[in-house]
């Protein structure tokens, strides 16, 4: 997510937006039945339209992002920068433009997350925009078709807004409040207006065209050519070539889409928070593991039931992922599972929080925008900045659907047989609120694995140590704690310094691991704080170093017990760290294509999904799986069972992702807003070929599909499967070299770092992949990893 990017329509101000977007690649993952939002985005030029707030991650699940929540609310702290390391990172230059006391307008080494408040947003953003407007006018007046007179000043303008807006947007995700939300909502139209102004600047657009037509064009580096080509393409997608009346209409659409997307996300969040089911009879929640009972009791305490306890209740069930998933997987009470499931798939579909009309209006406006730009539909706009084409994306989805169908049908038969053998009365009528429960029972029976019982082997400190050791082995980097160097927004946030083999700092990142339901968005994501940049060098020689943040939602420590993770949560941390690595290990000095910037949205998930594969690597897993009390290693037989269980219900999970991707493309390609067929009719129709069990007639899943209506994945959700092909094939290079061959792994890791991680958006992703792999990507590795290679289809 990487909140995270990524599938974005074409843009509006693609430079800033790209900046602002790539700044959060939530790229988190998801839960079995969906759960999230947020936006994220790569970069290009300027673009207001796609302004993902973070990069959401897929709604699938060989690794849900079970972001366990807690009612634990920590206070923020002000960190003092130790003199000994105060020069470890160069300051971010922010010209003071208003009230000297406003932290958003001060120069800083690291963002002052600890002191920024809602009261600073309105005056700070308005003062900044006024200053940037002046800078833009100066640029347009003096612009010349050269790097120093065009690209460098443009990057400086974009970066200031990216850093400051990114700061408050991040705080909204991790430390939300009504006051902060209201302040952002008030100034957001002004920010979008500036982005449109920047994205539609004809002097800037014409200067880029002149560079492309100049005699110097052949001698430009690949990265600079990519920047110029991207700016020209995005300029057109931003409406720079439109007549004045059409541009005015385009801008109104952009403003309204921004407002609607934000409202959509807020409705989902508010609807999720609004639901709560109080339970006083322990029989009603039989089957829930101790951690879930503790969470439910903690929630009850936070709601005023001061005597609530895990043993005696009362307990409160919510629609937050940890609570919801626990009920669906473990509650023996079928009636409770049905009630919670129905509440979940109808979130934000009624009353004041109903997203139905918002979805229709978003789809209508996106189609109008596409037509204004000369495209037939919004999907064509989105694909203009992707690796794939509409045809290629549909072809891949159908190939994977066909390979997954029979396996998914067999998955369902297996559940029916197993549940019948267990005496389940519902065995012949299994439905949505049964599959999670019986899948978990079958998995436990087939592989003798109980995720809750594995938690003691996956303590967060040990997992992070193992992850950092893996990064050292593969990529030759050291990661050291640097708490106190940078201000943080919560006491639980950790700060790290990434160093190269010579011990020199090359990047930094924050890690916010624990759930705080009262103020923190659910899910997991990675976001950009600042990017690597030569232009923004603090001393005029060495480039500015990149900073990232990783955010998860795990159960916090309890007493002397550390945060204990499920295996799926381990996968989530590895996933987000993959995004962070691509941001931090870039060697690209051109800021507009450094790290995740400028990478086509459907390729940006490659490093994150690649890193998940290492969770199944024996040496890596056994290195982190140590009992937190005894130090005992995970038993070998359990490791082998985890490995075998990797392909459990792979067909079903694959189909689920294909359903989301296919529905997304259908809505943005063929659906006509206001016609006889409703969005829910489309959902039912697409599900006929992508779901073994059709949705309930009253299913309103779309009202919570934040990825495409409040995130960056509109007409681009297919990107998850597209990138899965790339990531699986990339990992197969390590398999080919020999995973037990330390020298070969190190050499292959070095090559991966020097290509996939180092080149950023400075080279086309297909070229980068071929440079690493020696050939174009193949889906064979993905199908093999999922156990679907030999499956024949009749669907």
Task: Provide the annotated active-site residues.
Answer: 576
| Side-chain-facing half-sphere of 149: CA atoms under 13 Å | 12
Q: Give the whole-angstrom CA distance, residue 768 versus residue 43.
A: 17
Tell me how crowded residue 78 is: count the other CB atoms within 10 A of its CB.
10
Beta bridge partners of 77: 488
Tokens of 249: 């209409």
- What is 756-793 written as a DSSP string? IITSGGGS-HHHHHHHHHSS---THHHHHHTT-TT---
Q: Give the whole-angstrom CA distance, residue 396 versus residue 372.
A: 29
Q: Give the whole-angstrom CA distance, residue 239 versus residue 464.
A: 45
Angle of helix 244-274 relative to helix 356-372, nearest 10 degrees, comes to 160
DSSP annotation of 556: P
Q: Give the whole-angstrom CA distance, residue 183 versus residue 422.
A: 55
Q: Give the whole-angstrom CA distance, residue 707 versus residue 664.
A: 10
> Do 608 and 55 meet the contact criterion of CB atoms below 8 Å apart?
no
Using DSSP, state whether 201 is helix, strand or coil. Answer: coil
- Report the sign of the C-alpha dihedral through residues 310, 316, 320, 321, in that order: positive
> Do 570 and 616 meet the contact criterion of CB atoms below 8 Å apart?
no
> Is the peptide bond prior to 226 cis by the omega test (within 30 degrees of 0)?
no
Using DSSP, state whether 648 is helix, strand or coil. Answer: coil
Return the CA Rg of the chain. Answer: 25
Phi/psi of residue 758, each to 5°?
-90, -35
Helix (H) or strand (E) holding 735: helix 719-737
Strands 505-514 and 547-554: parallel
* Length in residues, the chain: 795
Q: What angle do CA 472, 475, 478 make, to 5 degrees?
A: 35
Nearest C-alpha neighbor of 45 from the set 238, 210, 255:
238
Helix (H) or strand (E) holding 749: helix 742-752
DSSP annotation of 353: G
Using DSSP, state whether 498 is helix, strand or coil. Answer: strand
How is the chain split among helix, strand and coil, in percent rounded to 5? 55, 10, 40
Strands 547-554 and 525-530: antiparallel
Tokens of 505: 């700092």
Residue 775, CA distances (Å) to 594, 605, 609, 621, 769 in order: 24, 19, 20, 30, 8
Using DSSP, state whether 429 is helix, strand or coil. Answer: helix
Residue 485, CA distances (Å) to 82, 481, 492, 510 in order: 6, 10, 15, 11
């Amino acid at each position: 997510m990487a909140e995270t990017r990524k599938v974005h329509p074409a843009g509006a101000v693609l430079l800033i937006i790209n900046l602002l977007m790539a700044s959060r690649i939530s790229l988190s993952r998801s839960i079995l039945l969906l759960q999230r939002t947020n936006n994220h985005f790569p970069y290009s030029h300027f673009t207001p339209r796609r302004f993902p707030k973070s990069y959401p991650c897929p709604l699938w699940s060989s690794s849900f992002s079970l972001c366990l929540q807690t009612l634990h609310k920590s206070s923020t702290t002000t960190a003092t920068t130790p003199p000994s390391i105060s020069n470890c990172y160069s300051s971010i230059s922010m010209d003071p433009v208003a009230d000297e006391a406003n932290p958003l307008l001060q120069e800083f080494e690291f963002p002052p997350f600890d002191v920024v408040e809602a009261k600073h947003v309105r005056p700070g953003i308005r003062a900044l925009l006024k200053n940037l407007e002046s800078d833009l006018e100066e640029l347009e007046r003096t612009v010349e078709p050269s790097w120093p007179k065009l690209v460098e000043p443009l990057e400086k303008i974009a970066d200031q807004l990216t850093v400051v807006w990114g700061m408050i947007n991040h705080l909204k995700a991790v430390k939300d409040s009504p006051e902060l939300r209201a302040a952002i909502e008030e100034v957001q139209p002004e920010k979008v207006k500036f982005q449109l102004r920047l994205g539609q600047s004809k002097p800037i657009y014409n200067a880029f065209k002149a560079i492309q037509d100049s005699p110097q064009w052949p001698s430009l580096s690949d990265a600079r050519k990519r920047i110029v080509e991207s700016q020209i393409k995005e300029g057109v997608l931003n409406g720079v070539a439109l007549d004045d009346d059409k541009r005015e209409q385009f801008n109104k659409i952009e403003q309204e889409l921004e407002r609607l997307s934000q409202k959509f996300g807020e409705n989902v969040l508010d609807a999720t928070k609004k639901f709560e089911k109080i339970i006083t009879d322990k029989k009603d929640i039989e089957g829930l593991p101790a951690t879930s009972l503790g969470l439910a009791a903690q929630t009850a305490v936070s709601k005023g039931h001061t005597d609530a306890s895990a043993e005696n209740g009362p307990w409160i069930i919510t629609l937050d992922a940890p609570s919801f998933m626990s009920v669906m997987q473990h509650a023996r009470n079928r009636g409770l599972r049905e009630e919670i499931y129905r509440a979940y798939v109808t979130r934000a579909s009624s009353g004041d929080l109903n997203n139905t009309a918002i979805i229709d209006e978003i789809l209508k406006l996106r189609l109008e925008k596409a037509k204004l730009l000369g495209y037939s539909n919004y999907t064509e706009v989105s694909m203009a900045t992707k690796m794939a084409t509409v045809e290629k994306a549909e072809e891949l989805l159908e190939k994977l659907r066909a390979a997954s169908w029979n396996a998914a049908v067999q998955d369902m038969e297996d559940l029916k047989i197993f549940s019948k053998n267990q005496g389940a009365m519902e065995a012949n009528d299994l439905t949505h609120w049964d599959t999670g429960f019986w899948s978990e029972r079958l998995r436990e029976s087939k592989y003798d694995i109980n995720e809750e019982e594995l938690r003691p082997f996956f303590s967060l400190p040990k997992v992070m140590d193992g992850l950092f050791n893996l990064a050292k082995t593969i990529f030759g980097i050291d990661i050291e704690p640097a708490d106190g160097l940078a201000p943080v927004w919560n006491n639980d946030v950790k700060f790290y310094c990434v160093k190269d083999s010579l011990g020199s700092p090359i990047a930094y990142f924050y890690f916010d691991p624990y759930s705080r339901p009262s103020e923190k968005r659910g899910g997991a994501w990675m976001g950009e704080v600042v990017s690597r940049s030569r232009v923004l060098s603090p001393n005029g020689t060495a480039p500015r170093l990149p900073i990232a943040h990783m955010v998860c939602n795990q159960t916090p420590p309890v007493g002397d017990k550390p945060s204990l993770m499920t295996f799926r949560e381990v996968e989530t941390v590895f996933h987000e760290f993959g995004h962070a690595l691509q941001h931090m290990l870039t060697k690209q000095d051109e800021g507009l294509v450094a790290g995740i910037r400028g990478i086509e949205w459907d390729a940006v998930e490659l490093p994150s999904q690649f890193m998940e594969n290492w969770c199944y690597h024996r040496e890596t897993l056994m290195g982190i799986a140590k009992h937190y009390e005894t130090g005992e290693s995970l038993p070998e037989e359990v490791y082998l069972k985890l490995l075998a269980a990797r392909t459990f219900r792979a067909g079903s999970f694959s189909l689920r992702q294909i359903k989301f991707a296919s529905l997304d493309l259908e809505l943005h390609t063929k659906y006509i807003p206001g016609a006889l067929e409703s969005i829910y009719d489309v959902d039912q129709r697409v599900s006929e070929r992508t779901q073994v069990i059709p949705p309930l007639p009253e299913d309103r899943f779309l009202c919570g599909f934040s990825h495409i209506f409040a995130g960056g994945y509109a007409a681009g959700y297919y990107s998850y499967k597209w990138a899965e092909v790339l990531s699986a094939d990339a990992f197969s290079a390590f398999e080919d070299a020999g995973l037990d061959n330390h020298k070969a792994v190190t050499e292959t890791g070095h090559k991966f770092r020097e290509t996939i991680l180092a080149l950023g958006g400075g080279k086309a992703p297909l070229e980068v992949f071929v440079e690493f792999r020696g050939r174009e990507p193949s889906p064979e590795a993905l199908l093999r990893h999922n156990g679907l290679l030999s499956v024949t289809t009749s669907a």
